[in-house]
Structure 1
């Protein structure tokens, strides 16, 4: 497993996006652990920063294609990918030879 580099939340100047990114990271990582990681394999979470965007990626080694569900009011689950897709600037799934990467991107606030 690769070491995790912890950064100060203000280092990337993303204070306005922290809650949104953390919520989506939690949702995508939970989905990967519940549905995408076979026993004995790993998943990974990655953030990339460009001038305009922050891209959150969660990669797992499982088969299958995540599906956006439209849960009704009585459903206890099934809304996560729908919410990630609706609240991110862009959202997608990249298939790999082994596994997939589910990603969401966020527009960075204008720099001061």
Structure 2
């Protein structure tokens, strides 16, 4: 994930949009980890897109993968002994909006962060 984090941090710095950098970087790390663990078939990769929405004053991050499968946050908090299940809960808590869109093949998982 260091490459993904550096890519996103560089964009945020170049756009002078570092106010929410910690939230954005944590969420992009969680989404990239999920893409690798659950959304990328063997031999395939994923794409990261980051957009500065000047009119809406927001940062949008998208992860495009070619895998199938449903993406949804857990119904409740994971147990203390559970090794996973927190990623999308973090995204839902930190991002101002998030969702999933269809892509052929695969899907796009996105999150948005409003800027001051």
Scaled by the length of structure 2, the TM-score of the pair is: 0.82
Q: Between Structure 1 and Structure 2, whose CA radius of gyration is higher?
A: 1
- Partner SS, residue 47 of structure 1: strand
In structure 2, the residue corresponding to 1:10 is in which secondary structure? helix
Query: How many residues matched?
Result: 106
C-alpha separation in 1, matches of 2:18 and 2:69: 34
The residue aligned with 2:100 is 93
The CA RMSD measured in Å over matched residues stands at: 2.0
Which structure 2 residue ranges, 5 or more long, are not aligned? 1-6
Answering whether residue 82 of structure 2 is matched by residue 62 of structure 1, we say no
User: What are the ranges of 5 or more consecutive residues in structure 1 without an aligned counterpart?
Assistant: none
Q: From the two aligned structures, give the one with the greater helix fraction.
A: 2
2:51 to 29, 34, 48: 48
Q: Give the distance between the partners of 1:8 and 1:83, measured in 2 at CA.
A: 22
Aligned mates of 1:8, 1:47 — CA distance in 2: 8
Partners of 1:100 and 1:26 lie apart in 2 by: 17
Q: Per-residue displacement from partner, 1:56-85 (whole Å, max 9, x unpaired)? A: 101100011112112123322101111101
In the superposition, the TM-score normalised over structure 1's length comes to: 0.85
Residues 39/68 of structure 1: CA separation in 2 closer, same or farther (3 Å cut): same
